[in-house]
Amino acid sequence: MAVLSLAPPEDLIAKLTKVYIHKDSWNSDLAQRILNIFPAQKIHKVETHPQKEHRGELSAQEFSTSKRLLYLEPFRGQFFKRCPGARPGLTCCNYFVLNWGQQCNLNCSYCYLQSFINSPVTTLYTNLDQALDELKKIGQDLKGQKLRIGTGELVDSLSLEPLTHYAARCVDFFKDYPQWNLELKSKAAYVDNLLNLQHGGNVTVSWSINPQAVIESEEWETASLSERLNAAKKCRQAGYQIGFHIDPMIWHPEWKENYAQLVDSVIQSFSPQDGPYLSVGGLRFQPEQRHIMRQRFGMKSWAVQAEMFPSSDGKLRYDQRLRSEMFKFVIERFKNHNSKWNIFLCMEAPETWLNAQKDLPQKMSGLKDIFDHRLIKKVNERIL
């Protein structure tokens, strides 16, 4: 595998104030790379979890600090899991997740990790080989099946790539599984590692995108919209499939103009042939998350000040008619440009699908395959 050994950006190294390495991970490839990159005073070799005394829920300050503390350890569980969208009441897109760490170094106001993570450090697992072995086992029976596997649930797929090279390793692994699709999902623009790799044409590099005004207000420490789109162009040039997630859409007074511009920026440079699908979703979070969001980002944040209501799955969402209007606006703008754009709604109820799309995804050409629940049952039997 020919991964370029580019020097990681200085700001990425500067933002991580301490790196703890568990003794069991000391000889791992990742630890060795980190030891070469970071100044010695930032490195701490530990025998136990560096914050093992920590108990209970993280305070807002502790959550913010956890983004600056990196911890390397081997993962001692099952890597391969189902996406949290697979719950009764939601129309799910059959997506599987592989987590190579926990916590994200980017800082979005609405991030669901704020109600999910109670570890005071950003963890990266050093035994990615074990994860790939798990996939190999699944592959013995399901090699010919169409599976989508994503890596962006608890970590951003690319925001630490200059340190980990994990995305590159997964791309290399997927060469042998041409029927499977690996989705790397990011708000960063660190794609250089991927550009000279040989790949199987089955990797979708996708970006969560929002208008620049939303990025500036809500998505702190992420790449700008133009950086994300430029990274996507580079990846397309290198033969990758490209995906975009306009998710979460965030209402603000100029939402129509800004989302229109966003759609136009995408359609100016990309076509439906560049990627298999595009997803759209609305702002949503667990009710208790609003408190940490308010503490960390204040009432100026559009996500914090949003008018949110409890929805059928317990999460807070915009009024259903408002979200349908927002989804419809974006979808129509894409479809008016080219009816071949495959667009699906992420974590939405069937009623919202019908309001925005006129049909359920299982009946829509281009989306049938990814919403095939018979296949998911098979995989679940294998991993659960």
Partner 1 sequence: MILKKLAQCSKYLEFKNFQSWPEVLAVPCWQGHRLTHFKSDQAMAVDYETHEATLETLLFATYPHLSFAELAELYGAWSAQPEIHPHWESIFQFYGYRFSNQLCQTISHLYQAPETFIFWAHDKGLKARDLSILLSFDEVAPLNTVMEKISALQVSKSEGVKILEWAGELLLSGHSLKEVLPGEDKTDSWLRSLQSKRYPSSYQQDNSKQQTVKTFAWPKHTQAQWLRQGDRTGIELKLHVQSPEDFAKKLQALHRVQQDLHECSEKLWQF
Residue closer to partner 1, measured from CB, 178 or 310: 310
Q: Does residue number 175 form part of the binding site for partner 1 (CB under 8 A)? A: no
CA atoms within a 13 Å half-sphere pointing along the CA-CB vector of 116: 13
Which of 134, 192, 227, 325 binds partner 1 (CB under 8 A)? It is 325
Q: Least CB distance from residue 101 to partner 1, whole Å?
A: 23
Which of 3, 13, 60, 375 binds partner 1 (CB under 8 A)? It is 60
Which of 87, 309, 336, 358 binds partner 1 (CB under 8 A)? It is 309
CA atoms within a 13 Å half-sphere pointing along the CA-CB vector of 377: 3
Q: Does residue number 58 form part of the binding site for partner 1 (CB under 8 A)? A: yes
Q: Least CB distance from residue 324 to partner 1, whole Å?
A: 8
Which of 299, 339, 365, 384 binds partner 1 (CB under 8 A)? It is 299
Residue closer to partner 1, measured from CB, 136 or 358: 358
Residue closer to partner 1, measured from CB, 37 or 58: 58
Q: Least CB distance from residue 296 to partner 1, whole Å?
A: 10
Distance in angstroms (rounded) separating the CA atoms of residues 203 and 183: 6
Which of 22, 228, 252, 317 binds partner 1 (CB under 8 A)? It is 317
Residue closer to partner 1, measured from CB, 322 or 383: 322
Q: Does residue number 320 form part of the binding site for partner 1 (CB under 8 A)? A: yes
Size of the site for partner 1 (CB under 8 A): 30
Residue closer to partner 1, measured from CB, 248 or 276: 248
Q: Does residue number 59 form part of the binding site for partner 1 (CB under 8 A)? A: yes
Q: Which stretch binds partner 1 (CB under 8 A): 16-24, 199-207, 286-294, 332-340?
A: 286-294
Residues that bind partner 1 (CB under 8 A): 55-62, 288, 291, 294-295, 298-299, 305, 307-312, 317-325
